[in-house]
Amino acid sequence: MERNTGLIIAMDVTRMDRAVKIASEVAECVDAIKVGYPLVLSEGLSVISRLADYAPVIADFKVADIPYTDELICEQVFKAGASGLIVHGFTGEDSLKACIGVARLYDGDIYVVSEMSHPGGAKYFQPIADEIASMAYEFGATGIVAPATRPERVKHLRSIIGDSLSIISPGVGAQGGKASDVIASGANWIIVGRSIYNSENPKETAMELVTGIGI
Ligand code: O7E
């Protein structure tokens, strides 16, 4: 993914027409559109190719299965037009390798969730986050997902993966994180949903966030 603005919008709306309207408004402010279960379950997998007209799409399916099933999922997602896919790492090395293998066939990106941003994410995820981040590095993932709500953790996870992997970071705005803090801690992109799509003027809000990122 090309880093022009440092902003990824989380398009967690449930109607295609609303998603397309917001995407057309914010297209020039974002480097990617993250699409997940809310929109795909509501409108179907075709939302991926539809939104890819505006910006590269990262499919957020937090894939977490046995390697064989992971491969089938990854193939469907990349065939549908996604540029990137978010997967879990706790399923183990073989599952992650399977996802990365399919992504390479499509020249796609794999981002591995290392630690989640919500309060509950600290309990089970944080103790294994370092190992997940190391595994993402070892097997050549594109990057990891790390919490903007805990910039100190982003800094720590950055020290584990070095500079070759990207960090995409959700939790800015509605969850309390601040763009400038998490970028200063080593994130390459922030992922922002509600603060943008629920605002009166999504484009203006996105532009303010981009200014805060300060690329
Ligand atoms: O809080 P918002 O509205 O700005 O949205 C944040 C988005 O990031 C939303 O889609 C949520 O599902 C996702 N997310 C987190 O908020 N925290 C995490 O730890 C992980 C994710 C996520 O998407 O994982 C992959 C990036």
> Taking the alpha carbons of 68, 71, 77, 81 in that order, is the dihedral positive or negative?
negative
> Does the annotation place 87 within a ligand binding site?
no
Query: ipTM score of the complex?
Result: 0.98
Q: What is the pLDDT, as a whole number, of residue 215?
A: 79
pTM metric for this prediction: 0.98
What's the pLDDT tens digit per position in 157-181? 999 999 999 999 999 999 999 999 9
- Domains: count for the chain: 1
The CB-side HSE value for 12 (13 A sphere, CA atoms) comes to 14
| Tokens matching residue 162 | 């070095």
Residue 99, domain extent: 5-211
What's the pLDDT tens digit per position in 30-78? 999 999 999 999 999 999 999 999 999 999 999 999 999 999 999 999 9
Q: Residue 113 sits in a domain of what CATH number?
A: 3.20.20.70
Residue 12 has pLDDT above 90, yes or no: yes
> Does the annotation place 49 within a ligand binding site?
no
Q: Does ligand 1 have an atom closer than 6 angstroms to the CB of 38?
A: no
Mean pLDDT over 193-199 rounds to: 98
CA distance 130 to 181: 21
| Tokens matching residue 142 | 């594109």
Alpha helices in 80-170 (DSSP H): 93-105, 126-138, 151-161
CA distance 65 to 124: 18
Q: Does ligand 1 have an atom closer than 6 angstroms to the CB of 132?
A: no
